[in-house]
Amino acid sequence: MTEASDTFEWGDHRPADPNDRTFATALAHPPEDPAAALVGFPFDGAVLGRRGAREGPRALREALAAVKTRRLGAGDTDPRVADRGDAPLEPDAAVEAAHQAAADRARQARDEGVVPVALGGDHSLTYPLVRPHAEAVGDLAVVNVDAHLDVREVHGAPNSGTSFGRLLRDGLVEGEHLAEVGVRDLATSGAYVDWARDQGVHLVPAREVREAGPGAVLDDLYRGPLADADALYLSLDVDAMDQAHAPGVSAPSPGGLTSAAFADLARAAVARAPAPVVGVDVVETAPRHDPTGRTARAAAWALAHVLLELSRGDPP
Ligand code: MN
Ligand code: MN
């Protein structure tokens, strides 16, 4: 395994009270057979809006470190998670270099039988993170929780708005197996909305998540168009949350999800998945734009649910 470029010492973040068990406690002593492995990508060289997501991996780890591991009523045991550090990227790495690192790390985790949980970094990374899974399984379904569709055409280099368009255009994911959940009114060009609909992509507006609830929205997808998938990939763009809940993103806007709805979606997306979840990413956390730290805390909250749900699965 490649060395981490920016080592985060989970042991330094352990709680003072020995009765407290947090993700820092768990990650300071990872199990021999983790179900999931964190890997950070401190890269925002392809971001469309404000930069800052390169600081996302550290902010997510710091916030996750303080989250306790027990959910009321869930009967959780310790999370079976390891931290594989950050991919060693230069501060201003080229897009191709960052994407190669993402694809390599996803492939390594796959070969090891652990679920890679990528800490972004900008959303351009999702294309290379998904690719190894899409090539290895028959029908890969993808759930993207995002304010935006990210189906833009590539003009020059890929950017944070192109990952899902690339997956569809390259034939790696079928339109009918892509669900975009929490998408925002007034945030996407009509041309791309029409294009996505023409591909059969399932668009679930943020309003529908508010009105029907996260569980009902996912049940509709999981019992319907995504039911026959062989595996599932979950992408969590933190800007799916409203700017009041997550100001520290490259493209904040109103009309979005609460932090509670975002975490509920993340949890249910794994807990109710109709097929094995083979990869997850949490992208677009840009802490420099949020001195309160609430964005990273909300993202880590959702991430904690994902890690606990992945830990409930059988060991690989
Ligand atoms: Mn977005
Ligand atoms: Mn996005």
Using one digit for the tens of pLDDT, what is the confidence trace for 177-212? 999 999 999 999 999 999 999 999 999 999 999 999
CA angle 181, 183, 188 (to 5 degrees): 145
For all residues of the chain together, what is the average pLDDT? 95
C-alpha 284 to ligand 2 mean position (Å)? 7
pLDDT band at residue 6, thresholds of 50, 70 and 90?
low
Q: Cα separations (Å) of 134 from 179, 180, 279?
A: 15, 17, 10
C-alpha 169 to ligand 2 mean position (Å)? 17
The backbone region for 156, taken as left when phi is positive above 0, alpha when psi lies in -120 to 50, beta otherwise, is left
Using one digit for the tens of pLDDT, what is the confidence trace for 37-47? 999 999 999 99
Residues with Cβ within 5 Å of ion ligand 2? 123, 146, 148, 150, 237
Higher pLDDT, 76 or 186: 186
Considering every ligand atom, which ligand is closest to the CA of 162?
2
Stated length of the chain = 316
Q: In the structure encoding, which two tokens stand for residue 147, read together?
A: 């304010």
pLDDT band at residue 31, thresholds of 50, 70 and 90?
very high
C-alpha 172 to ligand 2 mean position (Å)? 18
Query: What is the average pLDDT across 207-228?
Result: 98
Considering every ligand atom, which ligand is closest to the CA of 241?
1
Looking at the predicted structure, is the pLDDT value of residue 1 above 50? no
C-alpha 84 to ligand 2 mean position (Å)? 24
Looking at the predicted structure, is the pLDDT value of residue 314 above 90? no
Considering every ligand atom, which ligand is closest to the CA of 257?
1
Looking at the predicted structure, is the pLDDT value of residue 315 above 50? no
Considering every ligand atom, which ligand is closest to the CA of 165?
2
Using one digit for the tens of pLDDT, what is the confidence trace for 7-29? 899 999 999 999 999 999 999 99
Considering every ligand atom, which ligand is closest to the CA of 124?
2
Query: What is the average pLDDT across 92-116?
Result: 96
C-alpha 239 to ligand 1 mean position (Å)? 5
Considering every ligand atom, which ligand is closest to the CA of 206?
1
**Whole-number pLDDT of residue 4:** 45
Looking at the predicted structure, is the pLDDT value of residue 145 above 70? yes
Considering every ligand atom, which ligand is closest to the CA of 122?
2
Amino acid at 225: P
41 SS3 class: strand
